Amino acid sequence: MEENIKEILFDLVSRKQFRQLKEKLCDMNEFDIASFMEELDSEKQIIVFRMLPKELASDVFACLEVETQGHIINSITDKELAYIIEELYVDDAVDMLEELPATVVKRVLQNAAPSTRLQINEFLKYPENSAGSIMTAEYIGLKKNMTVEEAFAYIRKHGYDKETIYTCYVMDAKRMLEGVVTVKDLLMSDYEVKMEDIMDTNVIKAVTTDDKEEIADLFNKYDLLSLPVVDHENRLVGIVTIDDAVDVMEEEATEDFEKMAAMHPSEKPYLKTGVFELAKNRIVWLLVLMISSMLTGGILTRYEDAFKVMPLLVSFVPMLTDTGGNAGSQSSTMIIRGMTIGEIASSDILKVIWKEARVSVIVGIILGAVNFVRLVVQYPGQPLVALTVVLALFATVFLAKVIGGMLPIAAKKLHLDPAIMAAPLITTIVDAVSLVIYFQIAVELLHIK
Amino acid sequence: MEENIKEILFDLVSRKQFRQLKEKLCDMNEFDIASFMEELDSEKQIIVFRMLPKELASDVFACLEVETQGHIINSITDKELAYIIEELYVDDAVDMLEELPATVVKRVLQNAAPSTRLQINEFLKYPENSAGSIMTAEYIGLKKNMTVEEAFAYIRKHGYDKETIYTCYVMDAKRMLEGVVTVKDLLMSDYEVKMEDIMDTNVIKAVTTDDKEEIADLFNKYDLLSLPVVDHENRLVGIVTIDDAVDVMEEEATEDFEKMAAMHPSEKPYLKTGVFELAKNRIVWLLVLMISSMLTGGILTRYEDAFKVMPLLVSFVPMLTDTGGNAGSQSSTMIIRGMTIGEIASSDILKVIWKEARVSVIVGIILGAVNFVRLVVQYPGQPLVALTVVLALFATVFLAKVIGGMLPIAAKKLHLDPAIMAAPLITTIVDAVSLVIYFQIAVELLHIK
């Protein structure tokens, strides 16, 4: 939506030119109207919502955020509410009810038609993160002895409130899924052809209890627009449409970002998450990593004498540990992401180690050379100090990259989430390793003890 | 695809049971056949490819990786090649040609029909990362005075080789885009209704030169299945379909992961990227960050006297800098991701700072308390050392979170990529800040100079 259209709308609201506002809104799509409404205060939201024609109003309702939905539910009549619930797709209704307070949920269910209520209650039972939790019930179901002409007649009659009509599902009398037919197949076939002759029986499908991330992977792998979901008896119970699969992919990426920055993934958008919840999501890993780095600190106390004799040594510690941490997290990030998108398998571990080893040699030589020049210039009389730092840096980069490449795959082999082997933990591990190497080389080369 | 089916196929290949193999393959979809072929050696790939029926073969071809495509092109006749090129969607052909060696490209273009060659050449000219580079030419174009019946007849006749038929584009005589009609609209309307009466003129569209990430955002925002792309005169030149938009979203997330781990994003999958290219992508940021952390090291030399007097102080440095780095990168990761998915705007900067400040107080108190207990137990006679460490830790966490929350937004305001303000740079900045605070507190509280 153009910014200036939004400004015009806000201007109409503030000048209470509701007739003109209504005209403008009726020309817009539900997504833009919803995004406009989210920026109004709650009183104005109701005024604007009520001026929309019934059908548009329920489309807009589905695009609003849960808080706004709850607020609207509390401000409209039972009759208006009943209409909206019937128009909502089951998956949108369920998403909303899962987040609304119990009293609002009760009122919604009371105003739903008995069959809708039953269905919503059924769908609410599917475990979080399962295929069942993201599917919807509004699909076109056909019978295998229907002709193309009958199928078209059926779609014309029942298609208006279905989430997708482009893939239709062919079932037997017991609702067992037997095949799929696309509207493209129907359009390309003669009117008298039967469904059983054109349906594809090799159906890619999911079970209600499958993990929703697996569902998203199926959409990616097979370029699907929708996916049928069956129960454990192969009865069709719903479909997942691509818009919901895309949402899962985005959520999944967001969760990975959070996990890889050592956080417990949050359920809600940042600005809507409370301070205590944010703190709770962050504190566990911060504590774990803090205690780990105390152990690293313990290593330093073992070499107290070394840096009493030569305090200069300490000033290279941040450079060594930071570079090691960065080198390691570069590698671990690439490997974790590669595994997530299916480019790297557990069986590639040796290839990964060999690749990281060679990359680290190249990178290590360049970083070492730059450091050597700098040290020789800055501390001209101390070639052995320069050598110590450069050798330690090279060994650190080498180990960081090999460890960073290896640990995520090792985690997966141990059925742990590879994302925990990301920057924070890798940095902590590499810190400890690099300090031991550094001071050990210093003790040997500089003969300090 | 089930793993045991793959095993059966491999077994059939190794026993040269090609008739049975062919039967099995003809029952499978193109994605699974392609994924099976990728695991064969190059000689067997050709044998398997040639046993596929012509139409299936070209579908499979579109799903193969570019290396395999190039290998197949080199092993088939001109006639076979010509058939495949005509069957390929323009976007798939262009993707392939952009990566194949020049000699292969030449042979492909020589065998393409003149009109196809013209179109491919046209599409190859669109800049990388533009809408033009991911669009395809295979869409259904209708005229506004067509009736629904005529539209169906047109789709039946021309739809078989179109990438999507579900959204049709209504154009005037000069190919100006005037509206869109979905097959659902067509099915829900009477046969004699004209396109101009049912088309939606409020079209969400893109221009060929738009950035492909903006295109992906439009798909997300408006739940589109396809998007028309027009040139600067509003003439329709192609469409982007959701499968390509989803690929862009995944690439975008991968790039963000790489950038946030201080790497130049790579074009190819990890295992296919050469060692020198990987090293090149990583070395620049490693150098920049290494030099920055030398400056941090420089800060330590200013306090040499302090840790000569009390070497114990040095052992807390890793704990302080690591915790600061982790706390800061938690915040920056959430803010960067929040901005990418549009949940956080630049104008939210004050909200973010206020939120991070409060979170850091909670987290800082907990971390400080744990540390205090540990220090009092481990170093019973030195309450002032414990106080120094705890105060420095609290200040570090506070600053880390505020800086980590603020800098990505500041970067965006300066039209820089927020992703550079991720863990590595934040850690380096926070390191320097926390060391100054730590030693300054130590100097004051412990009276060492």
Q: Which two tokens stand for residue A173?
A: 């009398």
Residue B221: its chain A contacts at CB < 8 A?
A: 31
Helices (H), A113-182: 114-124, 131-134, 148-158
Cross-chain Cβ contact A329/B261 below 8 Å:
yes
pLDDT value at position A211? 93
Q: Which two tokens stand for residue A310?
A: 């030569």
Kindly state the average pLDDT of the residues A186-206. 91
Does position A142 have pLDDT exceeding 90, yes or no?
Answer: yes
Residue A249: its chain B contacts at CB < 8 A?
A: 246, 249-250
Mutate to test the interface with B, among A242, A248, A258, A270 (most CBs of B within 10 A): A270
The one-letter amino acid code at B383 reads: P
Q: By CA distance, what is A257's nearest residue in B? A: B333
- Kindly indicate the confidence band of residue A208, based on its pLDDT and cuts at 50, 70 and 90: very high
- Kindly indicate the confidence band of residue B1, based on its pLDDT and cuts at 50, 70 and 90: low
Helices (H), A230-382: 242-260, 275-302, 304-309, 317-340, 349-378
Enter the ipTM.
Answer: 0.84
Does position A328 have pLDDT exceeding 80, yes or no?
Answer: yes
Question: Residue A396: is it exposed, middle or buried by C-beta count within 10 angstroms (0-12/13-18/19+)?
Answer: buried
From the list A270, A321, A428, which residue is nearest B334 (CB)? A270
- Kindly indicate the confidence band of residue B302, based on its pLDDT and cuts at 50, 70 and 90: confident
Best CA proximity match to A336, nearest among A240, A259, A430: A259
SS (H, E, C) B113-156: CHHHHHHHHHHHCCCCCEHHHHCECCCCEEECCCEHHHHHHHHH
Q: What is the DSSP letter of B266?
A: P
Say how many CA atoms lie within 13 Å of A66 toward its Cβ. 15
d(CA A333, CA A401) in angstroms, rounded, equals 11
Cross-chain Cβ contact A254/B341 below 8 Å:
yes
Which of the two residues, B359 and B80, has the higher pLDDT score?
B359
What confidence tens digit (pLDDT) does each residue in A7-20 have? Answer: 888 999 889 888 89
Q: Which two tokens stand for residue B130?
A: 């533009």
Does position A87 have pLDDT exceeding 90, yes or no?
Answer: no
Q: What is the CATH number of domain A141-256?
A: 3.10.580.10
pLDDT value at position A1? 59
> Cβ(B448)–Cβ(B311) under 8 Å?
no
Best CA proximity match to A393, nearest among A375, A405, A407: A375
**Widest pairwise Cα distance in chain B:** 95
pLDDT value at position B193? 93
For the ranges B61-70, B288-297, B300-309, the lowest mean pLDDT is seen at B300-309
d(CA A163, CA A107) in angstroms, rounded, equals 25
- Kindly list the domain boundaries of chain A, sorted by start residue: 3-126, 141-256, 270-446
pLDDT value at position A303? 84
The listed CATH number (3.40.50.1820, 1.10.10.10, 1.10.357.20, 3.40.50.620) that belongs to domain B270-446:
1.10.357.20
What confidence tens digit (pLDDT) does each residue in B361-420 have? Answer: 999 999 999 999 999 998 888 888 999 999 999 999 999 999 999 999 999 999 988 988
pLDDT value at position A410? 93
A223: left (phi over 0), alpha (psi -120 to 50) or beta: left
pLDDT value at position A297? 84
Name the residue with tokens 């090999």.
A402
Alpha-carbon distances of A46 from A17, A41, A71, A73, rounded to whole Å: 15, 9, 9, 10
Q: What is the DSSP letter of B345?
A: -
d(CA B193, CA A185) in angstroms, rounded, equals 24
Mean pLDDT of chain B: 90
Cross-chain Cβ contact B308/A311 below 8 Å:
yes
Q: Which helix (H) or strand (E) holds A141?
A: strand A141-143
Best CA proximity match to B75, nearest among B55, B48, B94: B48
Cross-chain Cβ contact A323/B289 below 8 Å:
yes
For B141-242, give the CATH class: alpha beta
Best CA proximity match to A31, nearest among A82, A67, A65, A54: A65
d(CA A208, CA A127) in angstroms, rounded, equals 9
Does residue A168 sit in helix, strand or coil? strand
Q: By CA distance, what is A223's nearest residue in B? A: B243
What is the phi/psi pair of residue A191, to 5°? -60, -30
First to last CA, chain B: 69
The one-letter amino acid code at B126 reads: Y
d(CA A332, CA A194) in angstroms, rounded, equals 54
Residue B275: its chain A contacts at CB < 8 A?
A: 355, 358-359, 362
Q: Which residues, 6+ apart, have CB-to-CB distance to A41 below 8 Å? A: none
What confidence tens digit (pLDDT) does each residue in B218-263 have? Answer: 998 898 999 999 998 889 999 999 999 999 999 999 999 999 988 9
pLDDT value at position A89? 87
pLDDT value at position A412? 92
Best CA proximity match to A131, nearest among A225, A222, A241, A223: A241
Best CA proximity match to A170, nearest among A189, A192, A148: A148
Mutate to test the interface with B, among A310, A319, A360 (most CBs of B within 10 A): A319
- Kindly indicate the confidence band of residue A120, based on its pLDDT and cuts at 50, 70 and 90: confident
pLDDT value at position A266? 86
Cross-chain Cβ contact B344/A270 below 8 Å:
yes
d(CA A288, CA A348) in angstroms, rounded, equals 30
d(CA B407, CA B418) in angstroms, rounded, equals 8
pLDDT value at position A449? 60
Q: What is the CATH number of domain B3-126?
A: 1.25.60.10
- Kindly indicate the confidence band of residue B202, based on its pLDDT and cuts at 50, 70 and 90: confident
Residue A284: its chain B contacts at CB < 8 A?
A: none
What confidence tens digit (pLDDT) does each residue in A374-396 have? Answer: 999 988 888 889 999 999 999 99
Cross-chain Cβ contact B202/A294 below 8 Å:
no
pLDDT value at position B2? 64
Kindly state the average pLDDT of the residues A236-252. 92
> Cβ(B61)–Cβ(B72) under 8 Å?
yes
Mean pLDDT of chain A: 90
Does position A183 have pLDDT exceeding 80, yes or no?
Answer: yes
Radius of gyration for the alpha carbons in chain B, expressed in angstroms and rounded: 30
Best CA proximity match to A331, nearest among A364, A379, A378: A364
Q: Which helix (H) or strand (E) holds B81?
A: helix B78-87
Does position B160 have pLDDT exceeding 80, yes or no?
Answer: no
Say how many CA atoms lie within 13 Å of A28 toward its Cβ. 21
Please say whether the dihedral angle defined by the alpha carbons of residues A62, A68, A74 and A77, taken in this order, is positive or negative: negative
Q: Which two tokens stand for residue B398?
A: 């506070």
pLDDT value at position B449? 60
Does position A436 have pLDDT exceeding 80, yes or no?
Answer: yes
Q: By CA distance, what is B265's nearest residue in A? A: A334
Q: Which helix (H) or strand (E) holds A62?
A: helix A54-63
Q: In what order do the strands lie in the sheet with A206-207?
A: A206-207, A226-230, A236-241
Q: By CA distance, what is A360's nearest residue in B? A: B279
d(CA B305, CA B448) in angstroms, rounded, equals 8
d(CA A347, CA B270) in angstroms, rounded, equals 14
d(CA B330, CA A289) in angstroms, rounded, equals 13
Q: By CA distance, what is A302's nearest residue in B? A: B315
Residue B359: its chain A contacts at CB < 8 A?
A: 275, 278-279, 282
- Number of other residues whose CB lies within 10 A of the CB of residue B16: 9
A&B contacts, CB < 8 Å: 312
> Cβ(A395)–Cβ(A358) under 8 Å?
no
Does position B98 have pLDDT exceeding 90, yes or no?
Answer: no
d(CA B126, CA B172) in angstroms, rounded, equals 24
| DSSP letter string, A375-416 | HHHHSTT-HHHHHHHHHHHHHHHHHHHHHHHHHHHHHHHTTS
> Cβ(B353)–Cβ(B405) under 8 Å?
yes
A279-285 contacts at long range (C-beta below 8 A, 24 or more positions apart): A279/B359, A279/B362, A279/B363, A279/B366, A282/B327, A282/B330, A282/B359, A282/B363, A283/B362, A283/B363, A283/B366, A283/B367, A285/A424, A285/B326
d(CA A131, CA A236) in angstroms, rounded, equals 13
d(CA A374, CA B138) in angstroms, rounded, equals 59
